[in-house]
Structure 1
Amino acid sequence: MLENFIQNLAEWILAVSNGEIIWVAFYAGLFVAIMTSLGAMVAIFARRIPEEGVDFSLSFAAGVMIVASFTSLILPAIESTDSFAPAGVGIALGVLLIYAIDRLLPHEHLVKGYEGPKSMKNRLRKVWLLVIAVIIHNLPEGMAVGTSLVYNLEVGLVTAIAIGIQDFPEGTVVSLPLATLQKKRLQPILMGILSGFAEMAMVLLGAYFFTLFSWLLPYGLGMAGGAMLYVTVKEMIPEIYKSEKSETLVTLGFFAGFYVMLLLDSMLG
């Protein structure tokens, strides 16, 4: 049933887009942006999110991203060329790209604290440092959707659906802590929405670039996979395992995300 839904969705989107991949990317990007925005709007009704809820949401996202890195990006890159070399180069480029952004852009994590140039630590407000950290995390997700859409429409839509599902709690995780920090509602919600549309911009950029330079697509798939793996392993997993008291819940959240993405991907097998 889900497989038929994805195939019918792919045919409908192609029809309304007149076969233009950029319009397909626009709709997919709009979907992930809306899901992030809806999650951010939870801050209108809720005062706070339990710490266990934050940990479960982030670990769910990590599970989705780990599987998507391989099934939607790295393995297709290898299969499309019958060689590991382009995928391997792409993975390394993705890791280096996010590593450089991580080091050069000032940002702050709620748990790990400040990262980036020390000279910028006191020049930006804490709220902007937190938002920049979220946007850095969202860049690989947007790139993953955009590049996978160029590779295969149905694979790209599965990736967009899975990323969108985990973007809803991510949007909440962004806006609620900011609302608590600032004692305000509107600005944190707008910050969460901004992070979603930054992700949409990467969907469009990735799709546009690799449509123009299709011969680079295997490298792009590997790069998006490497970038997502870096963010998951270096940023998200240390963040969610910060406290020993919720280890079981975190692990369950990770495997819930793992299974959801694997199930969605298997529908196309």
Structure 2
Amino acid sequence: MAQLLGMLSDFVPESIAMGAVFSQNPQLGILLAIIIGIQNFPEAFNAYQDLKSSYSVRKCLIILFLLSFLGVVSALAGYYFLSSMPMAIGALMNFSSGGIIYLIFQDIAPLSSMKKNWIPALGACFGFLVGMIGLKMLG
């Protein structure tokens, strides 16, 4: 459950910010949606694995399916209500970064048993590269 709560504390503010970005710059919003989707995929997988120890597979999938609509609602709230409030969006993203830091240093990193493996570091570099290339393509 902690993994799920950490994921949601990151996912909801990101979705709100994405909705606000879409209202100002749709191309940047698409890039942000792609990056957030790529970043949230492993988080959702970890949350699923965490939930699976307490609930049936069917119940886990139903929970995650229903929570996915929280992103849509959050993005619409950002688009319609917070697009003209950059300070509020900044505060939400600050909160969101706390969620990701919690996930990494409280749950994921201590349980990592990959010794001398270059794949996680390469994945992080690839994610950064995708973001930088996307920003350059937008101008």
Regarding TM over 0.5, the answer is yes
Give the secondary structure class of the aligned counterpart of 2:63.
Answer: helix
Measure how far apart 1:203 and its partner are. Answer: 0.6
Q: How does 1:240-259 map to 2 (within 5 A)?
A: 240-243=108-111, 245-246=113-114, 248-259=118-129
In structure 2, C-alpha distance between the alignment counterparts of 1:210 and 1:137, rounded to whole Å: 17
CA contact (8 A) 2:14 2:93 kept: no
Closer, same or farther: CA 259–224 of 1 in aligned 2, 3 Å: farther
* Amino acid across the alignment from 2:22: L
Equivalence for 2:7: 134
Larger Rg: 1
In structure 1, C-alpha distance between the alignment counterparts of 2:112 and 2:62, rounded to whole Å: 33
TM-score of the two chains, using structure 2 as the length reference: 0.78
What CA deviation, in whole Å up to 9, does each residue of 1:100-155 have, x standing for no partner?
Answer: xxxxxxx624xxxxxxxxxxxxxxxxxxxxx4443222112212211211221111
In structure 2, C-alpha distance between the alignment counterparts of 1:140 and 1:251, rounded to whole Å: 26
CA contact (8 A) 1:241 1:250 kept: no
In structure 2, C-alpha distance between the alignment counterparts of 1:108 and 1:187, rounded to whole Å: 17
Bigger mean CA offset, 131-140 vs 186-195:
131-140
Match among 220, 232, 237 for residue 104 of structure 2: 237
Give the secondary structure class of the aligned counterpart of 1:246.
Answer: coil
In structure 2, C-alpha distance between the alignment counterparts of 1:183 and 1:231, rounded to whole Å: 23
Equivalence for 1:108: 2
Closer, same or farther: CA 236–267 of 1 in aligned 2, 3 Å: farther
Q: How does 1:23-62 map to 2 (within 5 A)?
A: none
Give the secondary structure class of the aligned counterpart of 2:29.
Answer: helix
In structure 2, C-alpha distance between the alignment counterparts of 1:182 and 1:229, rounded to whole Å: 27
In structure 2, C-alpha distance between the alignment counterparts of 1:152 and 1:143, rounded to whole Å: 14
Equivalence for 1:203: 75
* Amino acid across the alignment from 2:99: V
Match among 27, 31, 34 for residue 154 of structure 1: 27
Equivalence for 2:16: 143
In structure 2, C-alpha distance between the alignment counterparts of 1:153 and 1:224, rounded to whole Å: 20
Closer, same or farther: CA 228–183 of 1 in aligned 2, 3 Å: closer
In structure 1, C-alpha distance between the alignment counterparts of 2:82 and 2:111, rounded to whole Å: 41
Measure how far apart 1:183 and its partner are. Answer: 5.8
C-alpha RMSD of the superposition = 2.4
Measure how far apart 1:244 and its partner are. Answer: 6.2
Match among 55, 59, 64 for residue 192 of structure 1: 64
Closer, same or farther: CA 253–259 of 1 in aligned 2, 3 Å: same
Q: How does 1:164-179 map to 2 (within 5 A)?
A: 164-179=37-52
Equivalence for 1:61: none
In structure 1, C-alpha distance between the alignment counterparts of 2:60 and 2:127, rounded to whole Å: 26
In structure 2, C-alpha distance between the alignment counterparts of 1:226 and 1:139, rounded to whole Å: 12
Give the secondary structure class of the aligned counterpart of 2:126.
Answer: helix
CA contact (8 A) 1:178 1:188 kept: yes
Taking only the aligned residue pairs, the percentage that are identical comes to 26
Give the secondary structure class of the aligned counterpart of 1:229.
Answer: helix
Aligned residues: 136
Segments of structure 2 that go 5 or more residues without pairing to the other structure are: none
Give the secondary structure class of the aligned counterpart of 1:182.
Answer: coil
